[in-house]
Amino acid sequence: MKTNQDIGSAFKKKLEDLHNSPDDFVWDDIEKKLKKKRRRLLFWYFTFGLGILIVSLFIFNPFNSLNESQHHNLNTQEQPLELVEQETEIKTSANANFKVENNEDANIISDTNSTSNSNLEHNNSNQQTHTNSSTKNQSSTTNVSATINSKTQDNVSKQYNSNSKNALQNRVTSEKQQLDNVVVNKNKIDTISQPSMVSITETKASNSLNGSISNNQTALKSSQSTTPTRDKNALAESSIERAKDSLLNIDNEVLAISEDKEKIEEALEKDEKVKDSLPERKVRWSINPQLIQSNYGAFKTKTTDNTSTNYGILLGVRMTKNTFLRFGVKKLDLMQTVDDVPNSVSFLEIPLEVKYFFRDKNFNPYLTGGISYFMFESSSSDNPVNLEYGDHFSLNLGLGLEHKLFDRFYINLESNFNYQIKPITSNINYTPYIFSIGTGIDYRF
């Protein structure tokens, strides 16, 4: 019986019985592309993470800031403390000298007429003011000194030198003038007879320079009034004696200050030595090609024929005197025989590790630790169960020893243990690991 049907409907009905399968290579291609995609993704994650880490370390550099703070502590706690004390003393005495000298000069210029009492009081008040300001200076200088670097210390030292020299010169000059004035006054006293007020002024006089000057002036004024001739002579002689004592005191101070100067210079030298002993910042990078003997073993199973020779290169950046952050690439062609079935697999290892030296001498033991990203390249196996290797990470721990050959060249020998995190995606009842011994030349620049 003939039944007409639309050709579209007829075709649809007929095609419902169509059964067909794609060739096997279609899935193989899909699988390869999926693995490649995942590998690329992981690689970019790793590279991105590594980049962020390196940039962060360069920006924040916690190791370096630690060093700087240590250095800073050295500056503020050891030699610099001594420096600060000396600087404070110097500043105080130099300032005081300047101010006292100015006052003295003013007193001398205003001559020995009727201002001695007020001068005495003024000088005393000045001394108090200087003492207060000295205290303030001391505390503020101590605070400021926490941030002082060697440069400012040099400046302080220079300033101190010039200030103290000027102060001393001014002081010596004024003392000489004082002595001359006293001699002139003595001559005047010899000719003018006036009553004495010495007992009052002498009790107020001190051994200090300012006191002596004030006393001289007071004595002068007193002697201008009603002192008897004998007392006048005694007064003049005592004034001369005090002036001489003042000069001796100045000499002693000069000696003391020059001793201080020597101490400061010594302290600065020590500071320079400390700086020299700090890490040499110029040596920042290291490059280390390595030849590696790898043992591809496994936990929970016995492996044989698992040794292979591989190679790699590591680039290091110095974080502290004893620490390098290193990364690089290693080409690993690994092999192992499990249950009499040989497997081989190739990886590209990208390690990111910290290398810590216990010391920095001719023979330096060191520790390494970090992670590695393993990029799967190829594999072959006679195992009936297909081992699906893939990209993965590992945890690394190592111990090494390096020897300084000459200048910036070091030879090293190090052992590394890589704990593999899921290197095989298919179900296996063992966990592979890599134990390797590597050697190479480390060049630092």
Partner 1 sequence: MDLEEIIKACKRNKLKAQSQLYKRYKDDLYILCLKYCKNKEEAQDNLQDSFLDIFDNIKAYKGTGSFEGWMKRITIYKAIDKYKKTQPINIEINDAILEDTSIDSEIIEVIPLDDILKYIQELPTQYRMVFNLYELDQYSHKEIAQMLNISENTSKSNLHRAKHILKQKILNVNPLISKTTINK
Q: Which residues bind partner 1 (CB under 8 A)?
A: 2-15, 17-23, 26-27, 29-31, 33-35, 38, 388, 390, 425
DSSP helix/strand/coil, 303: strand
Question: At its nearest, how many Å lie between partner 1 and the CB of residue 429?
Answer: 17
Q: How far is CA 207 from CA 102, 105, 174, 178, 427, in A?
A: 19, 19, 17, 15, 97
Please provide the DSSP assignment of 235-246 as one string.
HHHHHHHHHHHH
Token representation of residue 95: 């300032």
Dihedral (C-alpha) 211, 212, 216, 217: value to the nearest 10 degrees?
-30
Q: What is the DSSP letter of 283?
A: -
Question: At its nearest, how many Å lie between partner 1 and the CB of residue 54?
Answer: 28
Nearest to partner 1 of 27, 60 (CB atom): 27
Give residues with Cβ within 8 angstroms of 203, minimum separation 6: none
Nearest to partner 1 of 29, 68 (CB atom): 29
Could you tell me which of 331, 336, 348, 345 has the C-alpha nearest to residue 438? 331
Question: At its nearest, how many Å lie between partner 1 and the CB of residue 47?
Answer: 19
Nearest to partner 1 of 84, 424 (CB atom): 424
Question: At its nearest, how many Å lie between partner 1 and the CB of residue 374?
Answer: 17
Nearest to partner 1 of 124, 425 (CB atom): 425
With beta carbons less than 8 A apart as the criterion, state whether 283 and 444 touch: yes
Nearest to partner 1 of 14, 361 (CB atom): 14
Token representation of residue 178: 């004082």
Question: At its nearest, how many Å lie between partner 1 and the CB of residue 2?
Answer: 5
DSSP helix/strand/coil, 112: coil
**Rg (alpha carbons) of the chain, rounded to whole number:** 44
Question: At its nearest, how many Å lie between partner 1 and the CB of residue 5?
Answer: 4
Question: At its nearest, how many Å lie between partner 1 and the CB of residue 413?
Answer: 40
Question: At its nearest, how many Å lie between partner 1 and the CB of residue 414?
Answer: 35
Nearest to partner 1 of 3, 203 (CB atom): 3
CA atoms 274, 277, 283, 284: torsion sign: negative
Nearest to partner 1 of 11, 60 (CB atom): 11
With beta carbons less than 8 A apart as the criterion, state whether 326 and 316 touch: yes
Nearest to partner 1 of 29, 180 (CB atom): 29
Give residues with Cβ within 8 angstroms of 215, minimum separation 6: 201, 202, 204, 205, 239, 242
Nearest to partner 1 of 8, 384 (CB atom): 8
Question: At its nearest, how many Å lie between partner 1 and the CB of residue 31?
Answer: 7
Q: Rounded to whole angstroms, how far apart are CA atoms 105 and 115? A: 14
Nearest to partner 1 of 194, 425 (CB atom): 425
With beta carbons less than 8 A apart as the criterion, state whether 319 and 330 touch: no
Question: At its nearest, how many Å lie between partner 1 and the CB of residue 393?
Answer: 16
Could you tell me which of 371, 375, 372 has the C-alpha nearest to residue 347? 375
- Report which residue type is found at 396: N
Q: Rounded to whole angstroms, how far apart are CA atoms 137 and 87? A: 10
With beta carbons less than 8 A apart as the criterion, state whether 103 and 124 touch: no
- Within 10 angstroms of residue 363's Cβ, the number of other Cβ atoms is 9
With beta carbons less than 8 A apart as the criterion, state whether 229 and 196 touch: no
Question: At its nearest, how many Å lie between partner 1 and the CB of residue 27?
Answer: 6
With beta carbons less than 8 A apart as the criterion, state whether 259 and 89 touch: no
With beta carbons less than 8 A apart as the criterion, state whether 324 and 317 touch: yes
Nearest to partner 1 of 203, 384 (CB atom): 384
In sequence order, what are the beta bridge partners of 334? 345
Nearest to partner 1 of 4, 199 (CB atom): 4
Question: At its nearest, how many Å lie between partner 1 and the CB of residue 394?
Answer: 20
